[in-house]
Amino acid sequence: MLTQLVYTSRPRFDVSTPDGRLTLEEIASAARIFNSSKGITGVLLAGNNWLSQVLEGDSKELTPLLARILADRRHDCLVIVEMRRVTERRFGQWTMGIRTLPMAEIPIDRLGDITAEEISALTRIATD
Ligand SMILES: Cc1cc2nc3c(=O)[nH]c(=O)nc-3n(C[C@H](O)[C@H](O)[C@H](O)COP(=O)(O)O)c2cc1C
């Protein structure tokens, strides 16, 4: 069943530094190899103090991946914003794109309240 999963989390590294940028690149390059082998597509958005990832694929593949991402100590405070069945992919060409939105600050205490629409709007800004 084609499923889209959206979550937010708090990076435990500083996305605005060269080291942080490297960490993001490492995450994305490992993700690309794995995701392409499992038919998973999506995008990873990074602001100064927040991450959000959209993952699309078969729910049988997404659930175990989510468990690994949840356990990853490079971020914490993971909140699932949305997980729903979809009829088509939005990021069909992307095994895992990274987009940074350094200006878009999300207060940490709001990370859990952010809506799927807000993430979707940020995704549009970042990918257009
Ligand atoms: C923000 C974030 C997003 C990630 N996205 C993916 C992803 O899309 N695909 C993937 O295979 N790993 C992703 N990872 C890496 C996984 O958390 C994990 O490190 C990787 O799957 C290896 O797992 P293992 O060490 O248990 O084998 C992500 C990690 C972070 C911190």
9-46 residue pLDDT tens: 999 999 889 999 999 999 999 999 999 999 999 999 99
Q: Is the CB of 53 under 6 A from ligand 1?
A: yes
Residue 117, C-beta contacts closer than 8 angstroms, at least 6 positions apart: none
Q: Tell the residue nearest (CA) to atom 11 of ligand 1.
A: 31
Mean per-residue pLDDT of the chain: 91
Helical spans, DSSP H, in 1-128: 18-38, 59-71, 116-127
Q: Pairing state of beta strands 97-100 and 2-11?
A: unpaired
User: Is 34's C-beta closer than 6 angstroms to any atom of ligand 1?
Assistant: yes
Cα(55) to centroid(ligand 1), Å: 12
Residue type, 4: Q
Nearest CA to ligand 1 atom 8: 31
Q: pLDDT by residue (tens digit) across 50-82?
A: 999 999 999 999 999 999 999 999 999 999 999
pLDDT band for position 106 (cuts 50, 70, 90) = confident
Does residue 69's CB lie within 6 angstroms of at least one atom of ligand 1? yes
11 contact partners, CB below 8 Å, separation of at least 6:
20, 23, 46, 49, 50, 51, 74, 75
Using the atom order of ligand 1, give the atom closest to the CA of residue 51: 1
Pick the residue whose CA is nearest to atom 10 on ligand 1: 31
Instruction: Estimate to the nearest angstrom the gap between the alpha carbon of 6 and the chain centroid.
Output: 7
> Residue 35 corresponds to which amino acid?
N
Share of the chain above pLDDT 70, in %: 95
Domain 2-127 has CATH 3.40.140.10: no
Q: Is the shortest distance between the CB of 31 and ligand 1 below 6 Å?
A: yes
Which of residues 120 and 55 earns the better pLDDT score? 55
Domain ranges of the chain: 2-127
Atom of ligand 1 nearest to the CA of 75: 31
